[in-house]
A and B are shown apart, each in its own frame.
Chain A
Amino acid sequence: MGSGLSGGGVADAVIAADLQGRVLLWNSQAESVFGYSAAESIGRSLKDLLLAGERDSEPPLTDAPCVYEALRRRKDGGLLYVNVSRTVSLENSDGARQVLYSKRDVTHLKVARDAKLVETRFGALLESTPDATLIVNAMGRIVLANSQAARAFAYDPNELIGQPVEVLLPERFRTSHVGHRSLFSQQPRTRTMGEGLELFGRRRDGYEFPVEISLSPLSTDEGTMVMSAVRDITDRKKAEQKFRGLLESAPDAMVIVARNGRIALVNSQLERLFGYPREELLGQSVDCLVPARYRGHHERHRTGFFSQPRARAMGAGLELYGQRRDGSEFPVEISLSPLETEEGLFVSGAIRDATERRRFEQTLQDASRLKSEFLATMSHELRTPLNGIIGFSEFLIDEKAGALNARQKEYLTDVLASGRHLLRLINDVLDLSKIEAGRMDIVAERFDLASAVDEVCGVVSPIARSKSISLVRHVSEEVAQVILDRHRFVQILYNLLSNAIKFTNTAGEVNLSLDREGDMLRLQVRDTGIGISPENLQKLFLEFQQLDSGTGRRHDGTGLGLVLTKRLAELQHGSVRVESEVGKGSVFTVQLPLVAAPG
């Protein structure tokens, strides 16, 4: 502080005011120091013009001249520290008195003082923190920067001292920052700067980088200062960017939701699907995407999800709906995954418009039902003429309408066999279509297994005998009686036994056993037949896949028997499995509950 400049020198801003503080005189130096022209200052209150904060350090007005330092505000909002010498004049001719101020900008001196103070008190401490840390004094000047900060912003540590903190900001933010800064200084508390905003730092070379800043007020002998810890979040932003990219590349609409139900992130697929622009969704409750009538449940489920986070489909087995911005609803499928982040647990939801799928499924169902109805009707209609074909063939073969010669009898026997084959085919198709249409009723009744076995063996034994195949059967005492659909059981047994006999060569053996296995009935048909190759085993239970036996011979059958057997077993909560070896034979095992489950 050079003595030549003290007290009313030309470099000083000179201001005169009346006792109420209204400006009477404003010299050109005052204009340049404070930014207000004389014209706009004269007549206004000094307090309005220059007071920086809620407190003023100006001493009470007395007749005695005094010198003090104070914080003042420039027209542009910037703060400066001034040395003031104040004199109250004598009454002038009107009897009024004036207060005469001579003010000099001593901001740089104040900065030097503050810097010295904080360097002594906090310098070593701040060097040891990992974050770039700055201390900024009441005028917004940097008074301490640790080397991490200097490095982050590409300055020498000493270069930063005394600079307005705004040098570390991109230019476009500087003006508004001055305003924010004075707001903070009025209500200082520890907080994160600009929550929800994207903040940027600016290096000396002009390079910008994303930052996160936390602010803490520091009370010192030189007034309140602000300590800010600046974290370069370039890496995190990059990771976020990658994540966003990932979200954008997903085929589904994606939404990331915080524990409190607020939407943190969406992709553009979601914007399109729900008809919301992104800005409208971010921060909103995710419930806005759910039709109103489900919102209560949705909140409970969400809380449930966060208490047991794991990837899963939402509302498995339920029909879920989304609601667009225009209020319209559409069916959706949603899968949920927990998402661990630095900011806590989130849930990511992938949402797919299921309109097409549900329509498709409905069409398929309708088509399947129509097909089944058609088949059922057709089967019925086809059987009526077969009654005549089969009946009259039998009638003629039995020579009830007169004697036949050998050829006539042979050919009529062929007609009869063909008619019966066609009838079996129609019956199997009808049964399959009934099962597929869900109209095959299982009527469980208690019956003796032995009697059902007798009934089936009565039909197949003659065929076995004609091929000299021995048909061995064993019914365990433990399964003397069962509660099952007798008709369907007989069908299954007939299919397996007639197959076994059909594919077993002369003088082979077919073995039937019925045992108990836990609470299941195990029906096993073992033959010494031609066997089934591994590739054919896979086709075994497909419709109309009568297998090539390898001998070039087609076997008399519908190609539906095993499919039907499997479906009939499954319908009664049972199963069918097969083991086979080519040339050795096959083992078909059916498991059925001893007591059929109702309906």
Chain B
Amino acid sequence: MGTTGTTILVIDDNPVNLKLASEVLLADGFTVIGAEDAEQALRLLETLMPDLVLTDIALPRMDGLALTRWLKADPRYSHLPVVALTASAMKGDEARVLEAGCDAYIAKPIDTRTLSAQIMRLIRVRPATT
């Protein structure tokens, strides 16, 4: 799948869901870094640069949309593709997610069989050039 060497930052406050996304991506060859909230993610981003951020929307304190806005407003990270995990594939959610600057969204529950392919497609469409 050509995922080797591609790093994904996964953010989800639910430890089981964080573990699931991480395991699925790991099994498909990605390098995965996990964070349980936006603050932790931002701290991690100070020292490493992933190829894509996969974030849950409903996070405590700073939610996924706020995190996205933050990243998109910072020139260091504005190029980073951000994919939102939405709880429901509702039209309203989609609009909110895209408005906040997310590059795409994936509806939960995630499809473990296609998740990696979906993510690779996004990285190819928008290569993480520096």
- Looking at A56-64, A158-166, A387-395, the stretch in contact with chain B turns out to be A387-395
Asked if residues B113 and A387 are in contact (CB atoms below 8 Å), the reply is no
Q: Which bucket holds chain A's interface residue count?
A: 20 to 34
- Number of B residues contacting the other chain (C-beta, 8 Å)? 19
Is A278 an interface residue when CB atoms closer than 8 A count as contact?
A: no
Is A384 an interface residue when CB atoms closer than 8 A count as contact?
A: yes
Question: Shortest distance in angstroms between B29's beta carbon and chain A's nearest beta carbon?
Answer: 11
User: For B24, what are the chain A residues with a Cβ–Cβ distance below 8 Å?
Assistant: 391, 395, 400
Asked if residues B113 and A394 are in contact (CB atoms below 8 Å), the reply is yes
Partner of B27, one of A386, A400, A427: A400
Is B31 an interface residue when CB atoms closer than 8 A count as contact?
A: no
User: For B2, what are the chain A residues with a Cβ–Cβ distance below 8 Å?
Assistant: none
User: For B66, what are the chain A residues with a Cβ–Cβ distance below 8 Å?
Assistant: none
Is A171 an interface residue when CB atoms closer than 8 A count as contact?
A: no
Question: Shortest distance in angstroms between A598's beta carbon and chain B's nearest beta carbon?
Answer: 15
Bound CA–CA A388/B108 (angstroms): 10
User: For A410, what are the chain B residues with a Cβ–Cβ distance below 8 Å?
Assistant: none
Bound CA–CA A398/B111 (angstroms): 12
* Given A391-B112, A398-B112, A400-B27, A380:B92 Cβ within 8 A: no
Partner of A380, one of B17, B23, B87: B87
Asked if residues A383 and B112 are in contact (CB atoms below 8 Å), the reply is no
Quick one: which of A355-399 are within 8 Å of B by CB?
380, 383-388, 390-392, 394-395, 398
Bound CA–CA A427/B107 (angstroms): 12
User: For A387, what are the chain B residues with a Cβ–Cβ distance below 8 Å?
Assistant: 14, 16-17, 20, 108-110
Asked if residues B20 and A384 are in contact (CB atoms below 8 Å), the reply is no
Bound CA–CA A423/B107 (angstroms): 13
* Given A394-B113, A395-B112, A441-B92, A388:B87 Cβ within 8 A: no
Is B61 an interface residue when CB atoms closer than 8 A count as contact?
A: no
Is A487 an interface residue when CB atoms closer than 8 A count as contact?
A: yes
Asked if residues B110 and A391 are in contact (CB atoms below 8 Å), the reply is yes
Asked if residues B109 and A391 are in contact (CB atoms below 8 Å), the reply is yes
Partner of A384, one of B17, B89, B111, B112: B17
User: For A386, what are the chain B residues with a Cβ–Cβ distance below 8 Å?
Assistant: 109
User: For A390, what are the chain B residues with a Cβ–Cβ distance below 8 Å?
Assistant: 109
User: For A380, what are the chain B residues with a Cβ–Cβ distance below 8 Å?
Assistant: 87-88
Bound CA–CA A51/B27 (angstroms): 129
User: For B20, what are the chain A residues with a Cβ–Cβ distance below 8 Å?
Assistant: 387-388, 391-392, 395
Bound CA–CA A398/B23 (angstroms): 13
User: For B111, what are the chain A residues with a Cβ–Cβ distance below 8 Å?
Assistant: 394
User: For B21, what are the chain A residues with a Cβ–Cβ distance below 8 Å?
Assistant: 391
Asked if residues B87 and A384 are in contact (CB atoms below 8 Å), the reply is yes
Q: Mark A417-451, 1 if CB is under 8 A from B, else 0.
A: 00000010001001000000000010100000000
What is the count of residue pairs linking A and B with beta-carbon distances less than 8 angstroms? 57
* Given A388-B17, A391-B20, A383:B87 Cβ within 8 A: yes
Partner of B109, one of A383, A400, A443, A487: A383
Question: Shortest distance in angstroms between B118's beta carbon and chain A's nearest beta carbon?
Answer: 14
Asked if residues B88 and A423 are in contact (CB atoms below 8 Å), the reply is no
Is A401 an interface residue when CB atoms closer than 8 A count as contact?
A: yes
Is B91 an interface residue when CB atoms closer than 8 A count as contact?
A: yes
Question: Shortest distance in angstroms between A372's beta carbon and chain B's nearest beta carbon?
Answer: 14
User: For B16, what are the chain A residues with a Cβ–Cβ distance below 8 Å?
Assistant: 385, 387-388, 392
Asked if residues A400 and B87 are in contact (CB atoms below 8 Å), the reply is no
Asked if residues A430 and B88 are in contact (CB atoms below 8 Å), the reply is yes
User: For A394, what are the chain B residues with a Cβ–Cβ distance below 8 Å?
Assistant: 111-113
Question: Shortest distance in angstroms between A174's beta carbon and chain B's nearest beta carbon?
Answer: 87
User: For A441, what are the chain B residues with a Cβ–Cβ distance below 8 Å?
Assistant: 91-92
Partner of A400, one of B23, B88, B110: B23
Question: Shortest distance in angstroms between B25's beta carbon and chain A's nearest beta carbon?
Answer: 11
Bound CA–CA A61/B49 (angstroms): 138
Q: 20 A-B contacts, Cβ less than 8 Å apart?
A: A380-B88, A383-B108, A383-B109, A387-B17, A387-B20, A387-B108, A388-B14, A388-B16, A388-B20, A390-B109, A391-B17, A391-B21, A391-B109, A394-B113, A395-B24, A395-B112, A400-B112, A423-B109, A441-B91, A441-B92
Interface residues of B, Cβ cutoff 8 Å to A: 14, 16-17, 20-21, 23-24, 27, 87-89, 91-92, 108-113
Extra 10 A-B pairs, beta carbons < 8 Å, given A383-B109, A384-B108, A395-B27: A383-B108, A387-B110, A391-B20, A391-B112, A395-B112, A400-B23, A400-B112, A423-B109, A441-B91, A487-B91
Interface residues of A, Cβ cutoff 8 Å to B: 380, 383-388, 390-392, 394-395, 398, 400-401, 423, 427, 430, 441, 443, 487
